[in-house]
Amino acid sequence: MMLTRRHLLLGSAAGTLALGAPASFAAPAAPGEAVQWPAVTLLDGSPWAPEAGRPQVVVFWSLTCPFCQRHNVHVEKLYQAARGGRGPAVLGVVREREPEAVRRHMAARGWHFPVSLDSPALAAALTGRRVVPLTVVVDARGRLKQAIPGEMFEEDVMELLERAA
């Protein structure tokens, strides 16, 4: 059998993985698999953890993304509708690293959903993608349901009140 360059490259990559090449984070959960939640700290310095028995909606976004701005208006509505345990817990993960800029941005828009600064460990647990906005849904059993890239319409975000369960 003749080995092609592709076979050699795939073989060397597999060999590296088999030898236990160090990885900084575990692979993201696949749909249906349990999420291994890392420690997460909110913008206000308090710890965040998923609420047991409650679905989670995690939205990755950026201050400079116009699609994120429109999307987060709907995320805020979802957060307000789900308060008191009536739907999924909501967490925003902003890609920027300047807490004060994020606080000003959220205050100017009237957004109150909990936010964490960019968390590579959280992103790695949920998705391998770096697109924003990215909405990740985890069911009440802690299993990844789906990762939805891009801006969503209000009715689609609000549908997560029931669909996330």
| Residue 75 tokens, joined | 């995320």
Residue given tokens 């987060």 in the structure block: 72
pLDDT single digits (tens) 92-148:
999 999 999 999 999 999 999 999 999 899 999 999 888 999 999 999 999 999 999
What does pLDDT average to over the chain? Answer: 86
Q: How far apart are CA 48 and CA 41, in angstroms?
A: 6
If we measure between CA atoms, which residue out of 21, 32, 63 comes closest to residue 144? 32
If we measure between CA atoms, which residue out of 40, 91, 41, 98 comes closest to residue 64? 98
Residue given tokens 């939640």 in the structure block: 37
Q: How would residue 25 be classed by pLDDT, with cut points 50, 70 and 90? A: low
DSSP helix/strand/coil, 115: strand
Domains of the chain: 24-163 (3.40.30.10)
- Segment among 12-16, 66-70, 101-105, 138-142 with least mean pLDDT: 12-16
pTM of the predicted model as reported, rounded to 2 decimal places: 0.83
pLDDT single digits (tens) 75-85:
999 999 999 88
